[in-house]
């Protein structure tokens, strides 16, 4: 073949790749703004009354008594984690809009972020009155503050809430058992909502450590992305950290370190996420990196007394408790970061979140974090999580990206459903879910089975995992590439206003 023809074929091949890549990126960007509009309409009502400013985690959740029926409801379970994703999405969106010289859109997003932080402090942080204490911002928070009549026509703001969350919908957009879908809307589009599904109706549930770490992740991204709010976010991060390690200066309930206490000095049970000693060093490293304070400030050692558990056996029967009691928290963290936390995905996701924030994985080899803790020992590869946690880690600490990871992320994003993530799997139809790994409410905390086969929670999901992943991808891999479609907010968008 003549040399000129070879050159021509090579040029055409490269151009084809470039056009394909541009098309994928343009589609991913368009999907981001579609998800953003979807979220603003159907998954949050901005304001400061009870329940306003809260993130809807799942809409049209399955009936617990009949898994073949999706209910017309709004679900707020694990709200602290979703709220952390929300803060992260807003922070990264703000930075990208500033980077692409869109000051008005950036100001709108900043306004929304300020409202979100205010809603958090007023409704989740200032909760001590529930335990007959004075309200204060001290790091202790409740999981959500949504009243049972949030959508009720008879409540002061219920009708406004219902109209907002049902924009463009009619009462007939409810579950159709015969068709195994929500009637009148495409799969992934939210259906009609008229009730709320909350974890507790009156006395709200206290924080757990997994919700704390999710919220702290969002605050770490505020610190990284938003200079105007850096100090406020770092202060909130510090307060939450001191509370979960039992160094809250406003009340010390016990000499025992690394336990979450309620304002009445009752423990949050271990089964509810109250024991934080196993991750002590990871917590301290994340707090030190985020606040700029010394790591020793965020450590809290046990006293020398024999500590009892909630049961009858000594609490220090546990391997990790003996290590913490002796002050060997860094060694314990090194063990944890090599994948020892057990088979619970919650444990692994908590470790990965703290490690990404604190840049604290061990061992640190010449190949870096990506070939050690997260890939092999931390077992996030087995759940397809590395794209998120590695990109979060790279962005927070200014590490360069890797081309293989860039391609992985692009493929994940490109496979997200256009109308949004959902899961309607039941005994009648085991394939009725979003494809490409988007069949769970938060992909990067779910098992492979939950992501790809719909074995987890059922309902319509808010898509914050996609939006935050996309923004982190843009910041690490795309923002400096002039050939990629610019991050432009649609002119019709009203987000943040």
Do the domain assignments include residue 483? no
Do the domain assignments include residue 492? no
* Confidence at residue 413, expressed as pLDDT on a 0 to 100 scale: 97
Do the domain assignments include residue 487? no
- Spatial contact of 185 and 191, defined as CB atoms under 8 Å apart: yes
Token pair recorded at residue 234: 């770092």
- Spatial contact of 414 and 434, defined as CB atoms under 8 Å apart: no
Three-state SS letters, 394-440 = HHHHCCCCCHHHHHHHHHHHHCCCCCCCEECCCCCCCCCECCCCCCC
What is the phi/psi pair of residue 399, to 5°? Answer: -95, 145
* Confidence at residue 491, expressed as pLDDT on a 0 to 100 scale: 66
Sign of the C-alpha dihedral computed for residues 207, 211, 217 and 219 taken in this order: negative
Do the domain assignments include residue 486? no
- Catalogue the long-range contacts made by 16-19 (C-beta closer than 8 Å, 24 or more residues apart): 18/483
Q: What gap in Å lies between CA 363 and CA 373, rounded to an integer? A: 7
What is the phi/psi pair of residue 228, to 5°? Answer: -65, -25
- Spatial contact of 348 and 380, defined as CB atoms under 8 Å apart: yes
Give, for 461, the enclosing helix (H) or strand (E). Answer: strand 459-461
Is 424 buried (19+), middle (13-18) or exposed (0-12) by CB count in 10 A?
A: buried
Q: What gap in Å lies between CA 228 and CA 230, rounded to an integer? A: 6
- pTM value? 0.89
Grouped pLDDT means (10 residues each) for the chain, 497 residues: 52 42 82 96 96 96 82 92 98 95 94 97 93 92 93 94 97 93 96 86 82 97 98 98 89 76 90 86 94 91 40 40 61 67 69 90 50 44 80 92 87 96 91 95 91 94 98 88 74 63
- Spatial contact of 131 and 142, defined as CB atoms under 8 Å apart: no
Is 344 buried (19+), middle (13-18) or exposed (0-12) by CB count in 10 A?
A: exposed
Do the domain assignments include residue 365? yes
* Confidence at residue 469, expressed as pLDDT on a 0 to 100 scale: 98
Total tally of structural domains belonging to the chain: 1
The number of residues making up the chain comes to: 497
Short-list 490, 457, 420, 465, CA closest to 64: 457
371 is in which domain, residue-wise? 3-478
* Confidence at residue 489, expressed as pLDDT on a 0 to 100 scale: 78
Do the domain assignments include residue 209? yes
Do the domain assignments include residue 493? no
Do the domain assignments include residue 489? no
């Amino acid at each position: 073949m003549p040399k000129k023809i070879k050159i021509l074929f090579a040029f055409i091949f490269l151009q084809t790749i470039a056009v394909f890549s541009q098309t994928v990126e343009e589609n991913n960007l368009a999907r981001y703004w579609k998800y953003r509009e979807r979220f603003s309409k159907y998954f949050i009502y901005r304001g400061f009354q009870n329940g306003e400013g809260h993130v809807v985690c799942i809409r049209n959740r399955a009936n617990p008594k009949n898994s073949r029926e999706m209910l017309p409801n709004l679900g707020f379970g694990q709200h602290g984690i979703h709220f952390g994703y929300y803060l992260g999405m807003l922070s990264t969106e703000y930075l990208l809009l500033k980077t692409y010289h869109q000051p008005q859109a950036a100001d709108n997003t900043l306004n929304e972020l300020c409202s979100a932080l205010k809603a958090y402090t007023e409704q989740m942080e200032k909760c001590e009155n529930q335990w007959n204490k004075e309200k204060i911002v001290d790091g202790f928070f409740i999981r959500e503050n949504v009243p049972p009549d949030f959508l009720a026509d008879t409540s002061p703001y219920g009708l406004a809430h219902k109209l907002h969350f049902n924009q463009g919908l009619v009462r007939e957009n409810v579950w159709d058992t015969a068709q195994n879908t929500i009637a009148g809307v495409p799969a992934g589009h939210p259906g009609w909502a008229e009730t709320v599904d909350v974890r507790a109706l009156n006395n709200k549930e206290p924080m757990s450590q997994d919700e704390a770490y999710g919220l702290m992740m969002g605050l770490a991204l505020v610190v990284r992305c938003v200079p105007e709010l850096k100090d406020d976010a770092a202060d909130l991060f510090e307060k939450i950290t001191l509370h979960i390690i039992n160094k809250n200066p406003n009340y010390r309930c016990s000499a025992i370190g690394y336990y979450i206490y309620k304002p009445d000095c009752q423990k949050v049970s271990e089964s509810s996420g109250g024991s934080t000693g196993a991750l002590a060093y990871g917590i301290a490293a994340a707090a030190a990196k985020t606040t700029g304070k010394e790591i020793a400030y965020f450590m809290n050692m046990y006293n020398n007394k024999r500590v009892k558990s909630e049961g009858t056996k000594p609490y220090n029967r546990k391997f990790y408790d003996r290590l913490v009691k002796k002050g060997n928290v860094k060694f314990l963290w090194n063990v944890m970061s090599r994948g020892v936390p057990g088979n619970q995905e919650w444990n692994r996701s908590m470790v990965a979140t703290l490690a990404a924030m604190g840049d604290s994985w061990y061992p640190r080899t010449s190949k870096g974090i990506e070939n050690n803790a997260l890939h092999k020992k931390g077992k996030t590869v087995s759940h397809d999580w590395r794209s998120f946690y590695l990109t979060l880690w790279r962005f927070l600490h200014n590490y360069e990206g890797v081309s293989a990871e860039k391609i992985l992320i692009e493929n994940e994003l490109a496979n997200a459903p256009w109308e949004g993530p959902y899961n309607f799997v039941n005994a009648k139809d085991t394939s009725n879910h979003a494809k490409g790994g988007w069949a769970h409410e938060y992909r990067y905390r779910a098992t492979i089975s939950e992501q790809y086969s719909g074995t987890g929670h059922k309902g319509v999901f808010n898509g914050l995992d996609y939006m935050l992943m996309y923004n982190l991808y843009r910041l690490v891999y795309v923002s400096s590439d002039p050939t990629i479609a610019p991050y432009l907010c649609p002119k019709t968008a009203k987000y943040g206003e």
